[in-house]
Chains A and B, each alone.
Chain A
Amino acid sequence: MAVITVDKLCKRYESMTAPAVKDVDFIVADREFMVLLGPSGCGKSTVLRMIAGLEPITSGTVSIDGRVVNQVPAKARDIAMVFQSYALYPHMTVFDNLAFGLRRRDVGRTEIDRRVHAAAVKLGLAELLKRKPHALSGGQRQRVALGRAIVRDPKVFLFDEPLSNLDAALRVTTRNELIKQQHEIGTTSIYVTHDQVEAMTMGDRICIMNQGEVVQIGRPLEVYRNPTDTFVARFLGNPPMNLLKGRLDAKDGVAVAHFAGSVIVLPKRAASSLVRYVGRDVIIGIRPEDLYETAPPGGPVPIARSPARVVAVEPLGAETLLVVALDVSSDELIARIGRDTALRNGDRFDIAIDTTAIHLFDPATTKAIV
C-alpha cells in the first residue's frame, strides 16, 4: 500500500545554471506501474533519485502515503531501487547480495534464509546462490539486482533503466518476466526508461519528460493517440510522426486543411472548435501507419491523395517503410505500408492519407490543437 505524490519537484545542481528538474508533478496510485519516459539527459534519473532519497531536493515535495519524506533519509523510506548498472557487490556471493539489505532490517536469520531462497527460486537463481557476480551472465546479474529489491518487500520499487544493458532478445523476455512479477507482487513502481517500447508495453501510465519538465501523463495508448505536443508526437512511435506545414480554413462550417497541395476536409472537426486557427498556419501531424499505398481495404475511410515519389524503400520483413517526397512541397514523409509492395526507388504514385488520423499542432507553442 503506497501512493507516491510528487509536487512541484525541482532540482538544481550546483555546477549548472539551468535546473535539471523543473516543477515535476505526478501521483502514482497504489499498485500502479508508472513509467518515466524521455530522452537522455531529461532528468528522469534525477527525479528517481530524489524520490529514493539519494539526491537532496532543491524545492517541492515528495510524499509517500500523504507523508512528506523530503527530510527522511533513504534507508527509512522503505524503497528498493534497481540500478542500471545493477550495483551488485562484487565481493559478495549472490546469496549475500540478496541478503545484504535484510541484515540491516531486523529480519531474523531463518527468515532471511527463507526469503532469499523464495526469491531465488522465483527468479531462477537457486543454483547460483554461491557464485560471485563476476561469474554470472548479464541476464543473471540483472535478475539478482531484481531479486535484491524483491526480498526487501518494500513499499515502493524504483527502476532506473534496468534492462538497457541486456541484448535485444533478453530484454524482451526479461521485460515480460518483470511485468509478470509486477502483476503478482503489485508493489507501487516507478520505472525509468528511454525505450518507448518498454514504456508502451509495461506502463499502466507513462509520464513523458523533456528538458526537466513533465510534458504529458496518461495511459500508453491514450498518449500515443493524443500527443499533447509535437515533442511527444515525435518521441512516441517508431518511425516518428510526420510533421508538415499546413494551413487551416473553414468551408461551409467544416474545418479544412490546406497542405500537400490539396485541400483536405477534416472529418469530425467543426470549424467552430478551431475558430482561433482559421486562416492561420498550423502543423499537420500524420503517423506513418496512417499513410497507404492504396486505399486501405474494409470500409470507407476518408482518404486524401497526393502525388509523390519514392525516395527510399526499407523492407523490415513484417512491413515496409517508404520514404516519399511529395510533389508539391519539398516535404519528405515516412510511410509504413504492407510488406509486399512493388514500389521501388524513384517510382511515382499517389500516396493515400487517412484524414481522420490527422493531428493539428500550433506552430508557435507546438501544443496540440484540440
Chain B
Amino acid sequence: MATQMRLGFAQLRRLPLVLFVVLYSVVSGGPFLWVATMSLRTTAEIFKNPYGVPSPVHWEKFADAWTKSNYSTYFWNSATVVVVAVALVTVIGSMAAHCLARYRFRGNRFVRFLILSGLVLPPQLLILALFQILLDLDLYNTLTGLVIVYVATHIAMTVYILEGFFAQIPQDLFDAARMDGYSDFEIFWRVTMPIGAPAIFTTVTLNFIILWNEFLFAVVLLTDDAKRTLPLGIMHFTGSHQLDVGMVATGLMIAILPIILIYAFFSEAMIKGMTAGAVR
C-alpha cells in the first residue's frame, strides 16, 4: 500500500519532466514533420490546405527537385566542401590537440591561447577581412577558398573538444608505446586516434552539421551560381522566381538527409564521446 502510494508520487513528480519532453518534441519535431508532408505535396495543394496529409503522395517531386533545377550542383558543391573541410579540420585539429595535450614545449600555452581564441570571435567580425584575403589570394568565389575558411574557423572548437578528451588518456599508455618502439607520429596514429575515436566522432558530427548548414561565409564568399552550396541554393529557389513552397520543402528534405544519415551513423559514438572520460 505504502509502496504503491510512493510509486504514484514518484510518477507524479516525473510529470513535469514528461510534459516538458512532450512539449519539446512537438516544438522541434512538429515543423520538421510539417515540412516533410509539404515536400510530398504540390504548391497548389499546400495553398489549398497547408496542414493536409499528402494524398496523392508526390514522390516524383524529389526527382524533379534534383533534375529540373541546379539542385544537384548545389548538393555536390556542398558535399565536396563539407567533406573535405571536415576531413582536414579533423586531421589538423586532432594533431594539434594531441600535441597540446601531450607535450610540454616552449610556447605551449601561447599556441593553445591563440587557437582557442578562435572560439570567441564572431564570424561577422571576420567576414570583411576574409573577403579581402581571399581576393588577394585569388581564392574568392572558389570552393577551395571556402574550404580553407571553414577549416580555419572550425579548428578552435575541434581542438577544444579533442584536447580535453586526449588529456584524459593516461600518460602511461604513451610511455608504454614509446618503450615498445613506436615513434611520436605512430603513437598519435595508433594510440591517440583509436582511443580518442568517440571524441573524434563527436567533432566530425558537429562540424558536419554546422558546415552543412553554413550560410554566412558561403553567401559572401561565393557569387557564381554554379559554385553555390545547398543553403544558398535553397534560398535562391525562394528568391528569384515565384515562391514555390512545395519545391523548397522538397529541397530542404534532400538537404537534411545527409545530416540524418551521419547522425544515425555516429550518434552512439558521439554520446560516448560527450559522456566520456571512460578511458580506463
Identify the A interface with B (CB < 8 A): 49, 52-54, 74-75, 79-81, 83-87, 89-91, 100-101, 104-105, 148, 152
Contact = CB atoms under 8 A, between A and B. Distances in A.
Interface stretch (B17-25, B39-47, B171-179): B171-179
A90 B195 contact: yes
A75 B178 contact: yes
B191 A89 contact: yes
B175 A81 contact: yes
A83 B180 contact: no
A54 to B, nearest CB: 5
Contacts, number: 56
Contact of B181 (A85, A90, A104, A148): A104
B277 interface: no
Interface of B: 170, 172-173, 175-182, 191, 194-195, 197, 279-280
Contacts of B170: 85, 87
A83 B175 contact: yes
Contact of B176 (A53, A87, A104, A105): A87
A50 to B, nearest CB: 12
B180 A75 contact: yes
Given A90-B195, A90-B279, A91-B194, A101 B173 contact: no
Given A89-B191, A91-B194, A104 B173 contact: no
With a 10 A CB-CB cut-off, give which of B173, B176, B178, B195 has the most chain A CB atoms. B176
Contact of B175 (A54, A90, A104, A152): A54
A101 B180 contact: yes
A169 B159 CA distance: 45
8 contacts: A49-B175, A54-B179, A75-B180, A81-B175, A85-B172, A90-B279, A100-B177, A101-B179
A91 B173 CA distance: 11
Nearest to A85: B172
Contacts of B173: 87, 89
B179 A75 contact: yes
Contacts of B172: 83-87
A138 B180 CA distance: 22
Given A87-B172, A89-B173, A91-B194, A79 B180 contact: no
A74 B195 contact: no
B73 to A, nearest CB: 41
Nearest to B197: A91
A91 B181 CA distance: 18
Given A54-B179, A74-B178, A75-B178, 9 more contacts: A49-B175, A75-B181, A79-B179, A81-B176, A84-B172, A87-B173, A90-B279, A104-B182, A152-B180
B164 to A, nearest CB: 18
Contacts of A104: 180-182
Contacts of B180: 75, 100-101, 104, 152
Given A87-B170, A87-B172, A87-B176, A101 B194 contact: no
A190 to B, nearest CB: 14
A83 B182 contact: no
A86 B180 CA distance: 14
A262 to B, nearest CB: 55
Given A85-B172, A87-B172, A89-B173, A52 B179 contact: yes
Q: Which 4 A-B pairs have the closest CB atoms?
A: A104-B181, A101-B180, A87-B172, A75-B181
A293 B280 CA distance: 51
Contacts of A148: 176
Contacts of B191: 89
Contacts of B176: 81, 83, 87, 89, 148
Contact of A74 (B179, B197, B279, B280): B179
Contacts of B182: 75, 104
A74 B176 CA distance: 10
A87 to B, nearest CB: 4
A85 B279 CA distance: 12
Contacts of A83: 172, 175-176
Nearest to B169: A90
A86 B175 CA distance: 11
A100 B179 CA distance: 11
A141 to B, nearest CB: 10
A101 B175 contact: no
The interface centre, meaning the residue of B173, B180, B191 with most chain A CB atoms within 10 A of its CB, is B180
A87 B178 contact: no
A85 B280 CA distance: 9
Contacts of A79: 179
A282 B45 CA distance: 106
A80 B177 CA distance: 11
A52 B279 CA distance: 25
A105 B181 CA distance: 7
A89 B173 CA distance: 7
Contacts of A81: 175-176, 179
A80 B179 contact: yes
A90 B178 CA distance: 16
A116 to B, nearest CB: 14
Give the most central of B172, B179, B194: most A CB within 10 Å.
B179
A308 B197 CA distance: 67
Nearest to A79: B179
B175 to A, nearest CB: 5
A83 B176 CA distance: 8
B146 to A, nearest CB: 35
- Looking at A91, A105, A152, which has the most chain B CB atoms within 10 Å of its CB? A91
Contacts of A152: 180
Contacts of B280: 85, 90
Nearest to A76: B181
Most buried by B among A74, A86, A87: A87
A101 B180 CA distance: 4
A74 to B, nearest CB: 5
A119 B182 CA distance: 22
A81 B174 CA distance: 12
